[in-house]
Amino acid sequence: MTHSNVVLIGPPGSGKTSVGQLLAERSNRRFFDTDRVIEERHGCSVSEIFAEHGEAYFRQLESNILDEMSNENWTNFVLGTGGGIIVTPGNLQKLEKLGLVVCLFAPPSCLLDRLKTDQTRPLLASGDDGSKEKRLNELVAARETKYRMARYTIETANLAPDDVAAEIEKLLCISDSTTNEVPSG
């Protein structure tokens, strides 16, 4: 069995966008990023949406995108999601209906290193490095159980984006697997 769609979930900084773009290019699929789709439709950044309307409103916009993709039978794509998309009840099931769900994961220390200069993440944009580290640890701890519900998890801390994309390509060829963890290395 092959999957025409791949859905990437995971914490901020885990590589969903960079890996997703590479995978789409390598596998002749379209790439979509839920955050970019929302920004394009609303004419402002995710941070601005959070500031003006709050997190709950943004999470509803994410759910609406998933509903639209499902209802319109979008095919042959790689979807990079926002780190908190799995917080909304029912979204993981929606993602599973869209395609093969793969969690990209890395320890908070690695994520923080990747995100140090990124001011576009509304839940991590303000504060010094110490408060960002604390907030990131809290986010990962609160969401990790849901992230790990993905069919597969790839640890990205010591892998280049190209290597992660190659691992996902291998997963696309696997059928009826009961494993939830793909060894890295």
- On whether residue 184 sits in a domain, the answer given is no
Q: How confident is the model at residue 175 (pLDDT cuts 50, 70, 90)?
A: very low
* C-beta separation of 106 from 47 below 8 A: no
Residue 107 within any structural domain of the chain: yes
Taking the C-alpha atoms of residue 27 and residue 126, their distance in angstroms, rounded to an integer, is 37
Per the domain annotation, does 152 fall within a domain?
Answer: yes
Give residue 152's pLDDT. 96
pLDDT of residue 124: 56
Q: How many domains does the chain have?
A: 1
- Give per-residue pLDDT as tens, 5-19: 999 999 988 999 999
Which domain range does residue 30 map to?
6-174
Domain CATH code at residue 65? 3.40.50.300
How buried is 183 (Cβ within 10 angstroms: 0-12 exposed, 13-18 middle, 19+ buried)? exposed
In a domain, 130, yes or no: yes
Answer whether residue 119 is part of any domain.
Answer: yes
Cβ pair 161, 114 in contact under 8 A = no
69 has a pLDDT exceeding 90: yes
Q: What is the pLDDT of residues 3-62, one digit of tens each?
A: 689 999 999 889 999 999 999 999 999 999 999 999 999 999 998 999 999 999 999 999
Residue 48 lies in a domain: yes
Q: Is residue 14 one of the residues assigned to a domain?
A: yes
pLDDT higher than threshold 60 for residue 70: yes
